[in-house]
């Protein structure tokens, strides 16, 4: 059996009359004349198929059908009001859901402060946080499964996505604590030529991988990569185990392992960039809110 549609204006008139139990008072509260109110109620009763009010002289009362309808009518009107308020908040960028991708190493730098600041400014926004390396983040942005990405070494020729650098940091050498070079304060990249290397796979961060291997090429050698690991935590663990050395962003120093030494690679060290990425011309106001939050934080703030 097909259910009749109940216009919200009729439900509103019904609820107000049920609360006032007086046509004149209800009409005044609704800001309409009494005859249109009576017509609204009659139309609603026609749809229900039963009287909703008894109309004795000088007395208006809910019928059993009216008493049954009242909680559902109030629920429908409350749901609509809540939905409209939520829509307004989402449209203004003060509520809704924002999906953020981030490279794991950024949990050591920009991510915690950014999330804290954004949450303080927009507590009604639901944040969905997804840990993923740079290349999957770029794919997720294009596929619209994340709204914003925080990644390293963004591409420079992507017309679909927009990027803004939020910080840069130097590279450091990652050495087993027993490595002969660990006794030095700084290490030249060329001094690592004879050591095996542990790196992130090129597929998960093409430009970062190329930057690191490019440092080695500039120093006059091609790194002998003996092991790949998807996360810097794992890279450091493998270095601690003595499987090799690595070159990494300076923030990786915050991964504290007793058997790992981090050493600068000299003055004028090349720097790696961290960028926020989003779809160009994305109308989502929450994206603009996040970008504004980043812009209000001092550059390089962790």
pLDDT at position 228, please? 96
Token duo for residue 209:
């991988």
pLDDT digits (tens, 9 = 90+) for 17-62: 888 888 989 899 989 998 988 898 999 989 888 999 988 887 899 9
pLDDT greater than 70 at residue 1: no
Task: Count other C-beta atoms under 10 Å from residue 4's C-beta.
Answer: 10
pLDDT greater than 70 at residue 85: no
pLDDT greater than 80 at residue 256: yes
Highest mean pLDDT among 76-85, 111-120, 207-216: 207-216
pLDDT at position 2, please? 42
Token duo for residue 286:
């929450």
Q: From CA 44, how far away is CA 246, in angstroms rounded?
A: 75
C-alpha closest to that of 92 among 115, 70, 124: 124
Angle, vertex CA 180, rays to CA 195 and CA 271, nearest 5: 65
Helix (H, G, I), strand (E, B) or coil at 246: strand
Q: From CA 166, how far away is CA 290, in angstroms rounded?
A: 12
Beta bridge partners of 272: 169
Q: From CA 51, how far away is CA 63, in angstroms rounded?
A: 7
C-alpha 64: how far from chain center: 49
Could you identify the residue written with the tokens 């109030």?
Answer: 74
C-alpha closest to that of 198 among 221, 231, 168: 231
pLDDT greater than 90 at residue 223: yes
CATH of range 167-272; options 1.10.760.10, 3.40.5.50, 3.40.190.290, 3.30.465.10: 3.40.190.290
Q: From CA 132, how far away is CA 178, in angstroms rounded?
A: 32
Name the residue ranges covered by the structural domains of the chain.
8-91, 96-165+273-295, 167-272
Phi/psi of residue 177, nearest 5 degrees = -60, -25
| Range with lowest mean pLDDT among 4-18, 49-63, 136-150, 188-202 | 4-18
DSSP-based helix, strand, coil % in the chain, nearest 5: 45, 25, 30
Is the domain covering 8-91 a CATH 1.10.10.10 domain?
yes
Q: From CA 204, how far away is CA 174, in angstroms rounded?
A: 20
Q: From CA 61, how far away is CA 19, in angstroms rounded?
A: 10
Contact 141, 278 (CB under 8 A): yes
pLDDT greater than 90 at residue 270: no
Q: From CA 197, how far away is CA 289, in angstroms rounded?
A: 41
Token duo for residue 107:
């949990």
Confidence of residue 159 (pLDDT cuts 50, 70, 90): confident
pLDDT at position 86, please? 59
Q: From CA 151, how far away is CA 145, in angstroms rounded?
A: 16
Domain 8-91 and domain 167-272, same fold? Reply is: no
C-alpha closest to that of 73 among 44, 46, 50: 44
Q: From CA 270, how far away is CA 253, in angstroms rounded?
A: 17
Q: Which CATH architecture has domain 96-165+273-295?
A: 3-Layer(aba) Sandwich (3.40)
């Amino acid at each position: 059996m097909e259910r009749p549609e109940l216009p919200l204006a009729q439900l509103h008139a019904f609820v107000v009359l049920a609360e006032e139990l007086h046509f004149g008072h209800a009409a005044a509260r609704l800001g309409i004349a009494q005859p249109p109110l009576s017509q609204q109620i009659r139309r609603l009763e026609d749809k229900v198929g039963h009287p909703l009010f008894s109309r004795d002289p000088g007395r208006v009362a809910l019928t059993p059908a009216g008493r049954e309808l009242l909680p559902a009518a109030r629920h429908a009107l409350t749901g609509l009001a809540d939905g409209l308020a939520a829509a307004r908040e989402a449209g203004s960028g003060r509520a809704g859901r924002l999906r953020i991708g981030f490279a794991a190493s950024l949990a050591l730098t920009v991510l915690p402060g950014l999330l804290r600041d954004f949450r303080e400014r927009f507590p009604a926004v639901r944040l969905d946080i997804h840990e993923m390396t740079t290349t999957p983040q770029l794919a997720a942005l294009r596929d619209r499964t994340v709204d914003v990405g925080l990644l390293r070494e963004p591409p420079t020729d992507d017309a679909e996505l927009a990027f803004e650098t939020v910080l840069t940091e130097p590279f450091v050498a990652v050495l087993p604590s027993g490595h002969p070079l660990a006794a030095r304060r700084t290490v030249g990249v060329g001094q690592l030529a004879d050591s095996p290397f542990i790196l992130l796979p090129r597929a998960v961060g093409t430009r970062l991988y190329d930057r690191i291997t490019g440092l080695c090429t500039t120093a006059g050698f091609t790194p002998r990569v003996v092991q790949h690991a998807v996360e810097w935590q794992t890279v450091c663990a493998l270095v601690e185990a003595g499987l090799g050395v690595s070159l990494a962003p300076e923030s990786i120093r915050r991964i504290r392992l007793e058997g790992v030494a981090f050493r600068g690679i000299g003055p004028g060290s090349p720097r790696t960039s961290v960028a926020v990425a989003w779809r160009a011309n994305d109308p989502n106001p929450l994206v603009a809110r996040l970008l504004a939050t980043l812009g209000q934080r001092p550059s390089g703030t962790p």
